[in-house]
Structure 1
Amino acid sequence: MSAQRQARRQRIGFWLGVLGVALFAITLPATRLATGTDAEPQLSPGFVTAARAALAGLLSLAFLLLTRSPWPARAHWRWLLLAVGGNLIGFPLLVALALRSVTAVHGAVVLAVLPLATAAAAALLLGQRERLGFWLCALVGAALVVLYAWLRAQAAGGFGFAAADLLLLGAVLAAAIGYVAGAQLTPQLGAERVICWMCVLGLPLSLPLVAWWWPEAQTMAQVRAPAWAGLVYVGAVSMWSGFFAWFRGLDWGGALRVSQVLLLQPFLTMLFAVPLLGERLDALSLAFAAAVVLTVFVGRRLSRPTQAGAPLNGREPQTLSPPKGQQP
């Protein structure tokens, strides 16, 4: 690939990453719309998790059938299962449970550490080496998130950490692993097929759980239209179409480089939470979000960037001949 073409591909990857982050930024407000709060519950977190996965799975199945996509190769399954566990199950369920008791603004601050977690997951899972400065920034960012959660618990009259904060930290870990696994597969399968196969693999679990957790008639009558709209968004966009742009951006722009775009997400989430949920932006949340984003920015500058389009582990991927008709 020529240098000019490579630079153009990297720029496109960056803007695809921006688009993906903008779409993902609405995930927390949309999830809170769907689940409601402990005081005013709407759909249960379990049902929201299963239903969003089922909706994305059905859309993915239609896409794969229409494009006549072949089955993934045996070498792909390990990464696909990691992506399913992180993106399809772990992150959505933990976030849905957490947002019953904390605001989307609060969640945005905790999830602001996700870019560092993604880069750390790439380093640990794929054998990348990072500079000491990067790991120091990662520790500082994590410490800021822990301090914010602690102060919030104290302000609410609690001691230690709220259970929701532990759930959010678990969601960060799950998403980071899922992002890296998906990006590792994108050069072979293509961004669209990565997310589609991931969602289709979840159908045998998500469809029965939707039926099991389907709200009773009395509960269904109390569910407001915004809750259903939030559920459709997290299923059709957050779980499916948003990843088309995001995985492609990670692949073309380089996972470590493009993941820096996630710096925008906490602030976009906060802005979306104001009109969608009527939440208030407070100085403490904004200050900690800015501090965490600063550590992420410095950490990204100190990281060892991969070449755009290169495999995340710095080695050439195993050569896998794509089946006939498959375009990466």
Structure 2
Amino acid sequence: MMERTQRMEGLLLGTLAVAAFSLSLPATRAAVPELGGTVVGLGRAVVAAALAGALLLVRRERLPERRHWARLGLVALGVVVGFPLLSALALRDMSAAHGAVLVGLLPGATAVAAVLRAKERPSLGFWMASAAGLVCVLIFAVAQGAGGLTAGDGLVLLAVVAGALGYAEGGALARELGGWRVICWALVLAAPVLVPVVALSVGASVSQVSTRAWLGFGYVSLVSMFLGFFAWYRAMALGGVARVGQLQLLQPLLTLLWSALLLGEEVGRDTFGASLLVLLCVLAGVRSRVRQLPAPVVR
């Protein structure tokens, strides 16, 4: 009963995190044209690192054990640097809607990373549900006219790989450290490298940046790079990296919705049908059995 309760809590927190992350690409797209890809991609981590450092100091948290630092470095490389920077650079010349279709590959990539890094063994039913969801996303991509791969597409695909590794490693490490500590320490670890890079990338015209761009940057800094991971890594610690990761299949469709509502980007009417199909695949995936090594969940 307790295991089922933890799994349900994990799925609820995962859904909340996915809803928060679904605004990341539109917010990034709103900020990149004026602030630049490097400032948006890495500057968000600098802001989040300041918040994380303050939280750790207030709570008087001890440094993680030495055996955890390499794993925290992998988390930082994947979700603090890799995914934000690569996706921001791609969105200089790409719509958020187009990027959302490619990010639909992230759940499958996270499941593979979970097998490699989190020592999980999804069942055949899980893989079949995941494959069905990915097929839905790819069909939807064709319907939206994603077409052949461009340089921007390549950057997003590399971002997907980076994000999957960071998600899987962070989700596994959250069982030992607690989800919020994982992202906080990863941010603090990356900060000394990121601060000078961002400082050199800030242009003289920053004072002329629009309110819309600042709001987009503020969202990816506070929510996408900080608060969203509190729920996300906690969810993975409770529900398993592979199972909770499949909730990301909903993210590209939510992102398409936000792209249309907030950015005025054109999205086809078949979105609702695709959303229903993907939702069914998500439900099948999260109900499938995923074996993982037992470990204490840190609150």
Q: What is the Cα-based RMSD across aligned positions, in Å? A: 2.7
Structure 1 residue runs of 5 or longer lacking an equivalent are 36-40, 155-159, 307-312, 318-326
Structure-2 change in CA distance of 1:10 and 1:296 (3 Å): closer
- Which runs of structure 2 are paired with 1:137-286 in the superposition (5 Å)? 152=145, 154=147, 160-217=148-205, 220-283=206-269
Structure-2 change in CA distance of 1:70 and 1:244 (3 Å): same
Structure 2 residue runs of 5 or longer lacking an equivalent are none
1:279 partner SS: coil
Q: Is the 8 A contact 2:118 2:241 kept in 1?
A: no
Alpha-carbon distance between aligned partners in 1 of 2:254 and 2:129, rounded to the nearest angstrom: 23
Alpha-carbon distance between aligned partners in 1 of 2:275 and 2:70, rounded to the nearest angstrom: 34
* Greater CA drift, 285-294 or 49-58: 285-294
2:290 partner SS: coil
1:89 aligned onto 2:81: yes
Percent identity over the alignment? 43
Bigger Rg, which one: 1
Using the size of structure 1 for normalisation, the TM-score is 0.81
Return the letter of the residue paired with 1:223: V
- Which runs of structure 2 are paired with 1:63-102 in the superposition (5 Å)? 63-102=55-94
Structure-2 change in CA distance of 1:214 and 1:223 (3 Å): same
Alpha-carbon distance between aligned partners in 1 of 2:30 and 2:16, rounded to the nearest angstrom: 22
Cα deviation, residue 142, structure 1: 5.8
1:120 aligned onto 2:99: no
Give the number of the structure whose residues are more often helix, by fraction.
2
Q: Is the 8 A contact 1:109 1:285 kept in 2?
A: no
Using the size of structure 2 for normalisation, the TM-score is 0.88
Structure-2 change in CA distance of 1:171 and 1:145 (3 Å): farther
Q: Is the 8 A contact 1:112 1:292 kept in 2?
A: no
Alpha-carbon distance between aligned partners in 1 of 2:272 and 2:124, rounded to the nearest angstrom: 28
1:129 partner SS: strand
Structure-2 change in CA distance of 1:45 and 1:289 (3 Å): farther
Alpha-carbon distance between aligned partners in 2 of 1:83 and 1:190, rounded to the nearest angstrom: 14
Of 53, 58, 61, 2:45 maps to 53
Cα deviation, residue 252, structure 1: 1.6
Aligned residue number for residue 26 of structure 2: 29
Cα deviation, residue 243, structure 1: 0.6
Structure-2 change in CA distance of 1:153 and 1:23 (3 Å): closer
Cα deviation, residue 187, structure 1: 1.9
- Which runs of structure 2 are paired with 1:306-325 in the superposition (5 Å)? 306=291, 313-314=292-293, 316=295
